């Protein structure tokens, strides 16, 4: 049946929060949730991860994949850093490639250097061009977003090389997919990972124009790949396959769960504006969100530091009696999390928001 409970049960299964993903299933969801970000508060050069979803150390595994260029670094959602599988360059070029327009003299000089002299790090580029690093960096990022150059982040070192994209990937046709064609592919993946999604969620994650996303969704509906549904008095979308499956199956209730998610997580980025509006604290910065029984019902506030993270306030959208009943479970999810060390032995403030 198409109910919130059934949708949530299938959603939790696919996110692998309860039954952790093995390497094969992890590779599938990494691809479907791409571009995958690094942890929100992390050291420069750390590899990406899908927090709380793997049955193995995915940080180490992704570090090895990155060193072999199985996964590669790019700038996608409005210039944000993300990782994709290298065999999907064409798909994400179709989705995110920025048209340079008239190339500037400095852009031409840097591109010409990398095309004819080979790879260079930023210090070598600085020495040849005479530009300061602060001036070089935005030029490199702009060329990177145009898929003209490639940043080879193979390890956790700060000093990394830049290459002419075409020299490293001559077989890749960056114009293979149109924006709408690429959107239709990734939106089916987005539907699979969320089971049901809204137009606003897709815009929040992919950071593309709402009109383009809407056009891609309408074409998928016309092609009988996606179905529009009414859920909680709002219009949402799901794949035709999932619609038919849920129409004929009544799934078991999912077990209770509390999961702490960082601010660059796939699910957080899919609801970023909504979550920022729901959870606020005028005195402290946002640290993490809490996914409770598959829904965002809490947020942690405090301060990130280079030592233990300082926790100050925990805000929850739960009835008071449920907070009392589940306090130990919630604290365990926070303090047993290995993403960042936390300083407080106990949170002394809980606000019901």
Q: Does some domain include residue 121?
A: yes
Residue 144: CATH number of its domain: 1.10.10.10
pLDDT at 157 over 80: no
CB 139 within 8 A of CB 106: yes
The number of domains in the chain is 4
Torsion angle of C-alpha atoms 244, 246, 250, 251, degrees rounded to 10: 130
Domain around 161? 99-168
Please say which residue of 31, 64, 95 terminates a domain.
95
Q: Does some domain include residue 173?
A: no
Residues 198 and 238 in one domain: yes
Q: What is the pLDDT of residue 344?
A: 62
3-state secondary structure of 224: coil
Q: Does some domain include residue 179?
A: no
Residues 90 and 108 in one domain: no
Residues 147 and 119 in one domain: yes
Q: What is the pLDDT of residue 124?
A: 95
Residues 267 and 315 in one domain: yes
Q: Averaged over 172-191, what is the pLDDT?
A: 98
Residues 306 and 262 in one domain: yes
pLDDT at 41 over 70: yes
* High-pLDDT (> 70) share of the chain, %: 96
- Per-residue pLDDT reduced to its tens digit, 223-270: 999 999 998 889 999 999 999 999 998 876 789 999 999 999 999 999
Q: Does some domain include residue 153?
A: yes
Q: Does some domain include residue 176?
A: no
Place of tokens 């960082």: 262
Residues 262 and 348 in one domain: yes
Q: Averaged over 185-205, what is the pLDDT?
A: 98
pTM: 0.94
Please say which residue of 65, 95, 125 terminates a domain.
95
Q: How far apart are the first and last CA of the chain?
A: 32
């Amino acid at each position: 049946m198409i109910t919130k409970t059934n949708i949530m049960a299938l959603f939790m299964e696919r996110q692998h929060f309860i039954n952790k993903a093995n390497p094969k299933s992890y590779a599938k969801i990494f691809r479907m949730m791409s571009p995958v970000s690094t942890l929100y508060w992390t050291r420069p050069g750390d590899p990406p991860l899908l927090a709380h979803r793997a049955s193995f150390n995915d940080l180490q595994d992704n570090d090895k994949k990155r060193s072999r260029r199985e996964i590669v670094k790019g700038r996608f959602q409005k210039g944000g850093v993300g990782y994709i599988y290298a065999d999907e360059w064409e798909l994400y070029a179709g989705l995110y490639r920025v048209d340079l327009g008239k190339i500037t003299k400095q852009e031409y000089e840097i591109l010409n250097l990398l095309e004819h002299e080979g790879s260079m790090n930023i210090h070598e580029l600085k020495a040849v061009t005479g530009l300061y690093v602060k001036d070089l960096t935005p030029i490199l990022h702009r060329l990177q977003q145009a898929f003209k150059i490639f940043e080879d982040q193979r390890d956790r070192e700060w000093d990394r090389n830049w290459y002419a994209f075409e020299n490293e990937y001559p077989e890749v046709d960056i114009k293979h997919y149109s924006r709408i064609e690429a959107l239709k592919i990734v939106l089916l993946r987005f539907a699979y990972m969320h089971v049901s999604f809204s137009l606003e969620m897709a815009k929040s994650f992919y950071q593309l124009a709402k009109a383009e996303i809407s056009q891609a969704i309408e074409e998928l509906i016309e092609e009988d790949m996606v179905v529009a549904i009414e859920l909680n008095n709002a219009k949402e979308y799901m794949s035709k396959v999932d619609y038919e499956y849920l129409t004929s199956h009544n799934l078991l209730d999912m077990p209770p769960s509390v999961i702490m998610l960082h601010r660059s997580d796939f699910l957080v980025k899919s609801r970023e504006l909504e979550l920022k509006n729901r959870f606020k604290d005028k005195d402290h910065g946002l640290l993490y969100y809490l996914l409770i029984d598959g829904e965002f019902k809490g947020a942690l506030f405090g301060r990130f530091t280079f030592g233990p993270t300082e926790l100050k306030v925990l805000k929850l959208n739960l009835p008071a009696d449920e907070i009392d009943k589940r306090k130990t479970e919630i604290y365990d999810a926070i303090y047993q999390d290995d993403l960042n060390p936390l300083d407080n032995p106990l949170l002394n403030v809980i606000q019901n928001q």
